[in-house]
Structure 1
Amino acid sequence: MSGWMSYLTGRGAATKDSTREAIVNLREHLLMLDKKEEHLSKKIEDELRKAKANATTNPRVAKQALRQKKLYENELDSISGRKMTLTTQVNAIESANMNKETLDAMKKGADVLKGIHGKLNVDKVDATMDDVRNQLELTNEISEAISNPAGMGIDIDDQDLADELAELEQEELNKRLAGAEAAPLHSPGATTAGMFIPFAVFDLPAEAVY
Protein backbone atom coordinates (compact mmCIF):
# COMPACT_ATOMS: atom_id res chain seq x y z
CA MET A 1 0.00 0.00 0.00
CA SER A 2 2.77 2.46 0.94
CA GLY A 3 4.57 1.67 -2.31
CA TRP A 4 1.54 2.69 -4.36
CA MET A 5 0.95 5.80 -2.23
CA SER A 6 4.48 6.97 -2.88
CA TYR A 7 3.59 7.28 -6.56
CA LEU A 8 1.12 10.01 -5.66
CA THR A 9 3.11 12.28 -3.36
CA GLY A 10 6.40 14.18 -3.24
CA ARG A 11 9.79 13.27 -4.50
CA GLY A 12 9.13 9.56 -4.09
CA ALA A 13 6.43 9.78 -6.76
CA ALA A 14 8.77 11.48 -9.22
CA THR A 15 11.48 8.90 -8.61
CA LYS A 16 9.04 6.05 -9.02
CA ASP A 17 7.66 7.49 -12.23
CA SER A 18 11.07 8.12 -13.76
CA THR A 19 12.29 4.64 -12.86
CA ARG A 20 9.18 2.99 -14.24
CA GLU A 21 9.33 5.10 -17.41
CA ALA A 22 12.97 4.18 -17.99
CA ILE A 23 12.26 0.47 -17.59
CA VAL A 24 9.22 0.64 -19.88
CA ASN A 25 11.17 2.48 -22.58
CA LEU A 26 14.05 0.02 -22.43
CA ARG A 27 11.75 -2.99 -22.67
CA GLU A 28 9.86 -1.45 -25.58
CA HIS A 29 13.16 -0.91 -27.38
CA LEU A 30 14.13 -4.52 -26.67
CA LEU A 31 10.83 -5.67 -28.15
CA MET A 32 11.50 -3.62 -31.27
CA LEU A 33 14.98 -5.16 -31.58
CA ASP A 34 13.47 -8.63 -31.23
CA LYS A 35 11.18 -7.95 -34.17
CA LYS A 36 14.08 -6.51 -36.19
CA GLU A 37 16.15 -9.57 -35.35
CA GLU A 38 13.39 -11.88 -36.52
CA HIS A 39 13.01 -9.93 -39.76
CA LEU A 40 16.77 -10.08 -40.47
CA SER A 41 16.85 -13.80 -39.80
CA LYS A 42 14.20 -14.32 -42.48
CA LYS A 43 16.15 -12.09 -44.88
CA ILE A 44 19.29 -14.14 -44.29
CA GLU A 45 17.40 -17.35 -45.04
CA ASP A 46 15.97 -15.82 -48.24
CA GLU A 47 19.41 -14.72 -49.50
CA LEU A 48 20.84 -18.13 -48.68
CA ARG A 49 18.14 -19.87 -50.69
CA LYS A 50 18.72 -17.46 -53.58
CA ALA A 51 22.46 -18.18 -53.54
CA LYS A 52 21.89 -21.92 -53.55
CA ALA A 53 19.37 -21.68 -56.37
CA ASN A 54 21.77 -19.69 -58.61
CA ALA A 55 25.06 -21.25 -57.56
CA THR A 56 25.47 -23.17 -60.84
CA THR A 57 23.16 -21.38 -63.24
CA ASN A 58 23.89 -17.74 -62.38
CA PRO A 59 27.02 -17.32 -60.24
CA ARG A 60 26.82 -13.52 -60.33
CA VAL A 61 23.36 -13.49 -58.73
CA ALA A 62 24.45 -16.15 -56.25
CA LYS A 63 27.47 -14.08 -55.26
CA GLN A 64 25.33 -10.97 -54.83
CA ALA A 65 22.93 -12.92 -52.62
CA LEU A 66 25.80 -14.11 -50.45
CA ARG A 67 27.11 -10.54 -50.15
CA GLN A 68 23.67 -9.32 -49.04
CA LYS A 69 23.37 -12.23 -46.63
CA LYS A 70 26.70 -11.21 -45.06
CA LEU A 71 25.46 -7.64 -44.57
CA TYR A 72 22.32 -8.91 -42.86
CA GLU A 73 24.40 -11.16 -40.60
CA ASN A 74 26.61 -8.24 -39.55
CA GLU A 75 23.53 -6.17 -38.74
CA LEU A 76 22.07 -9.11 -36.83
CA ASP A 77 25.25 -9.36 -34.75
CA SER A 78 25.02 -5.65 -34.00
CA ILE A 79 21.42 -6.03 -32.86
CA SER A 80 22.37 -8.94 -30.61
CA GLY A 81 25.03 -6.77 -28.97
CA ARG A 82 22.59 -3.91 -28.45
CA LYS A 83 20.03 -6.28 -26.96
CA MET A 84 22.58 -7.59 -24.49
CA THR A 85 23.51 -4.05 -23.45
CA LEU A 86 19.89 -2.99 -23.00
CA THR A 87 19.02 -6.17 -21.08
CA THR A 88 21.94 -5.59 -18.72
CA GLN A 89 20.81 -2.01 -18.18
CA VAL A 90 17.20 -3.04 -17.47
CA ASN A 91 18.35 -5.64 -14.96
CA ALA A 92 20.63 -3.10 -13.27
CA ILE A 93 17.82 -0.51 -12.98
CA GLU A 94 15.36 -3.07 -11.63
CA SER A 95 17.91 -4.35 -9.11
CA ALA A 96 18.80 -0.82 -7.98
CA ASN A 97 15.12 0.08 -7.68
CA MET A 98 14.45 -3.04 -5.61
CA ASN A 99 17.39 -2.19 -3.35
CA LYS A 100 16.03 1.33 -2.86
CA GLU A 101 12.52 0.10 -2.05
CA THR A 102 13.96 -2.44 0.39
CA LEU A 103 16.06 0.25 2.08
CA ASP A 104 13.04 2.59 2.29
CA ALA A 105 10.96 -0.17 3.89
CA MET A 106 13.73 -0.92 6.39
CA LYS A 107 14.02 2.78 7.25
CA LYS A 108 10.28 3.01 7.89
CA GLY A 109 10.49 -0.07 10.09
CA ALA A 110 13.39 1.45 12.02
CA ASP A 111 11.43 4.68 12.51
CA VAL A 112 8.46 2.73 13.87
CA LEU A 113 10.69 0.82 16.30
CA LYS A 114 12.33 4.06 17.36
CA GLY A 115 8.91 5.55 18.08
CA ILE A 116 7.87 2.50 20.11
CA HIS A 117 11.09 2.40 22.11
CA GLY A 118 11.30 6.18 22.50
CA LYS A 119 9.55 6.11 25.88
CA LEU A 120 11.13 2.87 27.04
CA ASN A 121 14.46 2.06 28.62
CA VAL A 122 15.98 -0.79 30.59
CA ASP A 123 15.32 0.87 33.97
CA LYS A 124 11.63 1.33 33.17
CA VAL A 125 11.33 -2.27 32.01
CA ASP A 126 13.04 -3.55 35.19
CA ALA A 127 10.78 -1.37 37.35
CA THR A 128 7.69 -2.67 35.57
CA MET A 129 8.81 -6.28 36.02
CA ASP A 130 9.39 -5.63 39.74
CA ASP A 131 5.86 -4.24 40.02
CA VAL A 132 4.48 -7.32 38.27
CA ARG A 133 6.34 -9.66 40.62
CA ASN A 134 5.20 -7.70 43.69
CA GLN A 135 1.59 -7.80 42.57
CA LEU A 136 1.79 -11.55 41.93
CA GLU A 137 3.22 -12.11 45.41
CA LEU A 138 0.46 -9.95 46.91
CA THR A 139 -2.15 -11.93 45.00
CA ASN A 140 -0.77 -15.21 46.36
CA GLU A 141 -0.75 -13.84 49.92
CA ILE A 142 -4.35 -12.63 49.60
CA SER A 143 -5.48 -16.00 48.20
CA GLU A 144 -3.74 -17.84 51.04
CA ALA A 145 -5.29 -15.54 53.66
CA ILE A 146 -8.79 -16.00 52.23
CA SER A 147 -8.51 -19.80 52.08
CA ASN A 148 -7.03 -20.16 55.62
CA PRO A 149 -9.73 -21.00 58.27
CA ALA A 150 -7.63 -19.28 60.94
CA GLY A 151 -8.39 -16.03 59.22
CA MET A 152 -12.08 -16.50 60.09
CA GLY A 153 -11.57 -17.11 63.84
CA ILE A 154 -11.35 -20.91 63.51
CA ASP A 155 -8.27 -22.27 65.27
CA ILE A 156 -8.02 -26.08 65.31
CA ASP A 157 -5.31 -27.74 67.40
CA ASP A 158 -4.07 -31.11 66.19
CA GLN A 159 -3.44 -32.25 69.79
CA ASP A 160 -7.08 -31.55 70.69
CA LEU A 161 -8.16 -33.72 67.79
CA ALA A 162 -5.85 -36.54 68.93
CA ASP A 163 -7.19 -36.38 72.50
CA GLU A 164 -10.80 -36.44 71.31
CA LEU A 165 -10.07 -39.43 69.08
CA ALA A 166 -8.45 -41.29 72.02
CA GLU A 167 -11.55 -40.65 74.15
CA LEU A 168 -13.80 -42.04 71.43
CA GLU A 169 -11.66 -45.17 71.13
CA GLN A 170 -11.72 -45.72 74.91
CA GLU A 171 -15.48 -45.21 75.03
CA GLU A 172 -16.02 -47.80 72.30
CA LEU A 173 -13.74 -50.27 74.08
CA ASN A 174 -15.63 -49.82 77.36
CA LYS A 175 -18.91 -50.52 75.60
CA ARG A 176 -17.57 -53.76 74.21
CA LEU A 177 -16.22 -54.86 77.58
CA ALA A 178 -19.54 -54.05 79.29
CA GLY A 179 -21.42 -56.10 76.72
CA ALA A 180 -19.12 -59.06 77.28
CA GLU A 181 -19.64 -59.02 81.06
CA ALA A 182 -23.46 -58.90 80.71
CA ALA A 183 -23.67 -61.93 78.40
CA PRO A 184 -24.44 -65.38 80.16
CA LEU A 185 -21.40 -67.56 80.20
CA HIS A 186 -23.21 -70.94 80.93
CA SER A 187 -26.80 -72.16 80.79
CA PRO A 188 -28.05 -75.51 82.27
CA GLY A 189 -28.41 -78.16 79.65
CA ALA A 190 -26.61 -76.09 77.07
CA THR A 191 -23.24 -76.69 75.59
CA THR A 192 -20.81 -74.31 74.17
CA ALA A 193 -20.94 -75.98 70.79
CA GLY A 194 -22.43 -73.63 68.22
CA MET A 195 -22.71 -70.79 70.76
CA PHE A 196 -21.33 -67.31 70.19
CA ILE A 197 -18.66 -66.53 72.73
CA PRO A 198 -17.83 -62.84 73.15
CA PHE A 199 -14.26 -61.97 72.39
CA ALA A 200 -13.77 -60.85 75.99
CA VAL A 201 -14.30 -64.43 77.21
CA PHE A 202 -10.98 -65.46 75.78
CA ASP A 203 -9.34 -63.27 78.38
CA LEU A 204 -10.92 -65.38 81.27
CA PRO A 205 -9.44 -68.55 82.82
CA ALA A 206 -10.26 -71.72 80.90
CA GLU A 207 -12.33 -73.27 83.79
CA ALA A 208 -14.68 -70.26 83.79
CA VAL A 209 -15.88 -71.05 80.27
CA TYR A 210 -17.17 -74.56 81.04
Structure 2
Amino acid sequence: MSGVWGWFGGGAAKKKDTPKNAILGLRTQLEMLQKREKHLMNQMEEQDAIARKNVNTNKTAAKAALRRKKTHEHSLDQTIAQIGTLEQQINAIESANINRETLAAMQRAGEAMQGIHGKLTVDKVDQTMDQLREQNALSEEIVQAITSNQIGDHVDEDELEEELDALQQEALDKQMLSSGSVPVSDVHKLPTVANSDIKSHAQAEDDEEEELRKLQAEMAM
Protein backbone atom coordinates (compact mmCIF):
# COMPACT_ATOMS: atom_id res chain seq x y z
CA MET A 1 0.00 0.00 0.00
CA SER A 2 2.83 2.37 0.83
CA GLY A 3 4.41 1.65 -2.54
CA VAL A 4 1.17 2.57 -4.35
CA TRP A 5 0.91 5.76 -2.29
CA GLY A 6 4.45 6.65 -3.32
CA TRP A 7 3.51 6.43 -6.97
CA PHE A 8 0.56 8.83 -6.49
CA GLY A 9 2.39 11.67 -4.78
CA GLY A 10 2.93 10.34 -1.30
CA GLY A 11 6.60 9.80 -2.09
CA ALA A 12 7.06 13.47 -3.01
CA ALA A 13 5.54 14.64 0.28
CA LYS A 14 7.66 12.15 2.22
CA LYS A 15 10.77 13.27 0.38
CA LYS A 16 9.97 16.89 1.17
CA ASP A 17 9.64 16.08 4.90
CA THR A 18 12.84 14.03 4.98
CA PRO A 19 15.14 16.90 6.11
CA LYS A 20 12.61 17.95 8.74
CA ASN A 21 12.28 14.42 10.09
CA ALA A 22 16.05 13.98 10.07
CA ILE A 23 16.53 17.19 12.06
CA LEU A 24 13.84 16.17 14.56
CA GLY A 25 15.52 12.79 15.04
CA LEU A 26 18.93 14.38 15.52
CA ARG A 27 17.60 16.88 18.02
CA THR A 28 15.93 14.08 20.00
CA GLN A 29 19.22 12.20 20.13
CA LEU A 30 21.04 15.42 21.03
CA GLU A 31 18.74 16.02 24.00
CA MET A 32 19.37 12.46 25.24
CA LEU A 33 23.14 12.91 24.98
CA GLN A 34 22.98 16.23 26.80
CA LYS A 35 21.05 14.55 29.64
CA ARG A 36 23.68 11.80 29.69
CA GLU A 37 26.40 14.47 29.85
CA LYS A 38 24.84 16.01 32.98
CA HIS A 39 24.39 12.55 34.55
CA LEU A 40 28.03 11.61 33.98
CA MET A 41 29.21 14.91 35.40
CA ASN A 42 27.12 14.27 38.52
CA GLN A 43 28.57 10.73 38.80
CA MET A 44 32.09 12.11 38.52
CA GLU A 45 31.42 14.62 41.27
CA GLU A 46 30.02 11.86 43.55
CA GLN A 47 33.03 9.57 43.01
CA ASP A 48 35.38 12.47 43.56
CA ALA A 49 33.63 13.21 46.86
CA ILE A 50 33.94 9.52 47.92
CA ALA A 51 37.64 9.49 47.08
CA ARG A 52 38.26 12.65 49.08
CA LYS A 53 36.30 11.22 52.03
CA ASN A 54 38.28 7.96 52.17
CA VAL A 55 41.68 9.17 51.03
CA ASN A 56 43.12 8.92 54.55
CA THR A 57 40.94 6.28 56.16
CA ASN A 58 40.22 3.75 53.42
CA LYS A 59 42.61 3.91 50.53
CA THR A 60 41.00 0.94 48.78
CA ALA A 61 37.59 2.67 48.69
CA ALA A 62 39.21 5.92 47.59
CA LYS A 63 41.10 4.19 44.78
CA ALA A 64 37.92 2.43 43.61
CA ALA A 65 36.08 5.75 43.57
CA LEU A 66 38.81 7.32 41.48
CA ARG A 67 38.69 4.33 39.09
CA ARG A 68 34.92 4.79 38.64
CA LYS A 69 35.47 8.52 38.18
CA LYS A 70 37.93 7.83 35.36
CA THR A 71 35.42 5.51 33.70
CA HIS A 72 32.72 8.18 33.89
CA GLU A 73 35.20 10.76 32.59
CA HIS A 74 35.97 8.56 29.56
CA SER A 75 32.23 8.13 28.87
CA LEU A 76 31.77 11.87 29.27
CA ASP A 77 34.45 12.58 26.67
CA GLN A 78 32.74 10.23 24.22
CA THR A 79 29.37 11.80 24.93
CA ILE A 80 30.71 15.33 24.41
CA ALA A 81 32.25 14.22 21.09
CA GLN A 82 28.93 12.70 20.00
CA ILE A 83 27.11 15.90 20.96
CA GLY A 84 29.51 17.92 18.82
CA THR A 85 29.01 15.56 15.87
CA LEU A 86 25.22 15.75 16.13
CA GLU A 87 25.28 19.55 16.35
CA GLN A 88 27.43 19.73 13.22
CA GLN A 89 25.12 17.35 11.39
CA ILE A 90 22.04 19.34 12.40
CA ASN A 91 23.64 22.56 11.18
CA ALA A 92 24.65 20.89 7.91
CA ILE A 93 21.13 19.56 7.26
CA GLU A 94 19.55 22.91 8.16
CA SER A 95 21.93 24.76 5.82
CA ALA A 96 21.29 22.27 3.01
CA ASN A 97 17.54 22.56 3.54
CA ILE A 98 17.75 26.37 3.52
CA ASN A 99 19.77 26.22 0.30
CA ARG A 100 17.19 23.93 -1.28
CA GLU A 101 14.28 26.15 -0.23
CA THR A 102 16.13 29.25 -1.41
CA LEU A 103 16.78 27.69 -4.80
CA ALA A 104 13.16 26.58 -5.07
CA ALA A 105 12.01 30.12 -4.22
CA MET A 106 14.33 31.55 -6.88
CA GLN A 107 13.00 29.06 -9.42
CA ARG A 108 9.42 30.06 -8.58
CA ALA A 109 10.40 33.71 -8.93
CA GLY A 110 11.94 32.99 -12.34
CA GLU A 111 8.78 31.19 -13.45
CA ALA A 112 6.66 34.09 -12.20
CA MET A 113 8.76 36.62 -14.13
CA GLN A 114 8.56 34.46 -17.22
CA GLY A 115 4.79 34.35 -16.85
CA ILE A 116 4.65 38.14 -16.43
CA HIS A 117 6.83 38.82 -19.46
CA GLY A 118 5.08 36.20 -21.55
CA LYS A 119 6.02 36.76 -25.18
CA LEU A 120 7.37 40.22 -24.47
CA THR A 121 10.70 40.91 -26.19
CA VAL A 122 13.03 43.86 -26.60
CA ASP A 123 11.95 44.25 -30.22
CA LYS A 124 8.31 44.49 -29.17
CA VAL A 125 9.20 47.10 -26.54
CA ASP A 126 11.09 49.14 -29.16
CA GLN A 127 8.14 48.83 -31.54
CA THR A 128 5.73 50.03 -28.85
CA MET A 129 7.99 52.98 -28.03
CA ASP A 130 8.17 53.92 -31.72
CA GLN A 131 4.38 53.83 -31.93
CA LEU A 132 4.10 56.05 -28.86
CA ARG A 133 6.56 58.54 -30.35
CA GLU A 134 4.60 58.61 -33.61
CA GLN A 135 1.33 59.22 -31.76
CA ASN A 136 2.91 62.00 -29.68
CA ALA A 137 4.25 63.64 -32.83
CA LEU A 138 0.83 63.36 -34.46
CA SER A 139 -0.77 64.91 -31.41
CA GLU A 140 1.65 67.85 -31.60
CA GLU A 141 0.86 68.35 -35.27
CA ILE A 142 -2.88 68.29 -34.55
CA VAL A 143 -2.51 70.89 -31.79
CA GLN A 144 -0.37 73.05 -34.07
CA ALA A 145 -2.96 72.82 -36.85
CA ILE A 146 -5.79 73.74 -34.49
CA THR A 147 -4.03 76.74 -32.94
CA SER A 148 -2.47 78.13 -36.14
CA ASN A 149 -5.58 77.96 -38.35
CA GLN A 150 -8.26 80.07 -36.71
CA ILE A 151 -11.89 79.65 -37.69
CA GLY A 152 -13.30 82.46 -39.91
CA ASP A 153 -12.59 84.27 -43.18
CA HIS A 154 -8.99 84.66 -44.14
CA VAL A 155 -7.77 88.28 -43.95
CA ASP A 156 -5.27 89.48 -46.55
CA GLU A 157 -2.42 91.24 -44.77
CA ASP A 158 -1.64 93.36 -47.87
CA GLU A 159 -5.20 94.69 -47.92
CA LEU A 160 -4.91 95.59 -44.25
CA GLU A 161 -1.69 97.52 -44.92
CA GLU A 162 -3.29 99.45 -47.80
CA GLU A 163 -6.31 100.32 -45.68
CA LEU A 164 -4.06 101.48 -42.87
CA ASP A 165 -2.06 103.71 -45.22
CA ALA A 166 -5.29 105.23 -46.52
CA LEU A 167 -6.45 106.04 -42.98
CA GLN A 168 -3.10 107.63 -42.16
CA GLN A 169 -3.25 109.76 -45.33
CA GLU A 170 -6.81 110.84 -44.52
CA ALA A 171 -5.79 111.91 -41.02
CA LEU A 172 -2.81 113.81 -42.44
CA ASP A 173 -5.00 115.64 -44.97
CA LYS A 174 -7.41 116.72 -42.24
CA GLN A 175 -4.53 118.02 -40.15
CA MET A 176 -3.19 120.00 -43.09
CA LEU A 177 -6.56 121.59 -43.79
CA SER A 178 -7.10 122.53 -40.17
CA SER A 179 -3.61 123.92 -39.42
CA GLY A 180 -2.26 124.82 -42.80
CA SER A 181 1.04 123.09 -42.00
CA VAL A 182 2.44 119.64 -41.89
CA PRO A 183 4.06 118.32 -38.69
CA VAL A 184 7.71 117.50 -39.04
CA SER A 185 7.06 113.95 -37.94
CA ASP A 186 4.61 113.51 -40.81
CA VAL A 187 6.71 115.05 -43.57
CA HIS A 188 7.95 111.66 -44.63
CA LYS A 189 4.31 110.55 -45.04
CA LEU A 190 3.53 113.17 -47.70
CA PRO A 191 3.39 111.92 -51.26
CA THR A 192 6.26 112.93 -53.46
CA VAL A 193 5.22 115.42 -56.20
CA ALA A 194 7.12 117.06 -59.03
CA ASN A 195 8.22 120.74 -58.85
CA SER A 196 5.97 121.62 -61.79
CA ASP A 197 2.97 120.27 -59.95
CA ILE A 198 3.86 122.41 -56.91
CA LYS A 199 4.12 125.57 -59.04
CA SER A 200 0.84 124.86 -60.79
CA HIS A 201 -0.85 124.43 -57.48
CA ALA A 202 0.61 127.76 -56.19
CA GLN A 203 -0.48 129.59 -59.36
CA ALA A 204 -4.00 128.26 -59.00
CA GLU A 205 -4.14 129.52 -55.44
CA ASP A 206 -3.01 133.03 -56.57
CA ASP A 207 -5.72 133.11 -59.22
CA GLU A 208 -8.32 132.09 -56.67
CA GLU A 209 -7.17 134.87 -54.31
CA GLU A 210 -7.39 137.41 -57.12
CA GLU A 211 -10.92 136.38 -58.03
CA LEU A 212 -11.93 136.52 -54.38
CA ARG A 213 -10.67 140.13 -54.03
CA LYS A 214 -12.58 141.15 -57.14
CA LEU A 215 -15.76 139.60 -55.82
CA GLN A 216 -15.33 141.43 -52.51
CA ALA A 217 -14.87 144.76 -54.33
CA GLU A 218 -18.00 144.28 -56.40
CA MET A 219 -20.04 143.48 -53.31
CA ALA A 220 -18.75 146.61 -51.58
CA MET A 221 -19.99 148.83 -54.44
With structure 2 as the length reference, what TM-score do the two structures score? Answer: 0.65
In terms of mean alpha carbon deviation, does 165-174 or 103-112 score higher? 165-174
Deviations 1:171-205 (A, max 9, x none): 999999999x7xxxxxxxxxxxxxxxxxx9xxxxx
Compared with structure 1, are the counterparts of its residues 35 and 165 closer, same or farther at alpha carbon in structure 2 (3 Å cutoff)? farther
For residue 74 of structure 2, what is the aligned residue in structure 1? 74
CA distance in 2, matches of 1:137, 1:52: 102
CA distance in 2, matches of 1:169, 1:11: 106
Q: Does structure 1 residue 17 correspond to structure 2 residue 21? A: no
- 1:165 positional shift: 8.3
Letter of the 2:28 counterpart: E
Q: Does structure 1 residue 153 correspond to structure 2 residue 152? A: yes
> SS where residue 119 of structure 2 aligns?
coil
Q: Does structure 1 residue 132 correspond to structure 2 residue 132? A: yes
CA distance in 1, matches of 2:79, 2:172: 121
Compared with structure 1, are the counterparts of its residues 153 and 79 closer, same or farther at alpha carbon in structure 2 (3 Å cutoff)? same
- 1:158 positional shift: 7.5
- 1:19 positional shift: 1.4
> SS where residue 99 of structure 1 aligns?
helix
CA distance in 2, matches of 1:50, 1:176: 145
Report which of the two structures shows the higher radius of gyration computed on alpha carbons. Answer: 2
CA distance in 1, matches of 2:64, 2:177: 148
Letter of the 2:101 counterpart: E
For residue 52 of structure 2, what is the aligned residue in structure 1? 52
Residue correspondence of structure 1 range 18-37 to structure 2 within 5 A: 18-37=18-37
- 1:97 positional shift: 0.8
Which has the higher relative contact order, 1 or 2, with Cα contacts under 8 A spaced 6 or more apart? 2
CA distance in 2, matches of 1:165, 1:59: 143
Deviation above 3 Å: which 4+ runs of structure 1? 9-12, 153-179
Residue correspondence of structure 1 range 1-210 to structure 2 within 5 A: 12-148=12-148, 150-153=149-152
- 1:11 positional shift: 5.1
- 1:33 positional shift: 0.7
In terms of mean alpha carbon deviation, does 92-101 or 161-170 score higher? 161-170
> SS where residue 139 of structure 1 aligns?
helix
Compared with structure 1, are the counterparts of its residues 44 and 155 closer, same or farther at alpha carbon in structure 2 (3 Å cutoff)? farther
> SS where residue 57 of structure 1 aligns?
coil
- 1:10 positional shift: 5.8
- 1:114 positional shift: 2.5
Number of equivalent positions: 172
Letter of the 1:131 counterpart: Q
CA distance in 2, matches of 1:177, 1:10: 118
CA distance in 2, matches of 1:48, 1:62: 9
Deviations 1:76-96 (A, max 9, x none): 000011111111111111111
- 1:105 positional shift: 1.2
Aligned-residue Cα RMSD (Å) equals: 3.1
* Gap runs ≥5 in structure 1: 1-8, 182-199, 201-210
Compared with structure 1, are the counterparts of its residues 144 and 56 closer, same or farther at alpha carbon in structure 2 (3 Å cutoff)? same
With structure 1 as the length reference, what TM-score do the two structures score? Answer: 0.68
- 1:109 positional shift: 1.6
CA distance in 2, matches of 1:51, 1:175: 147
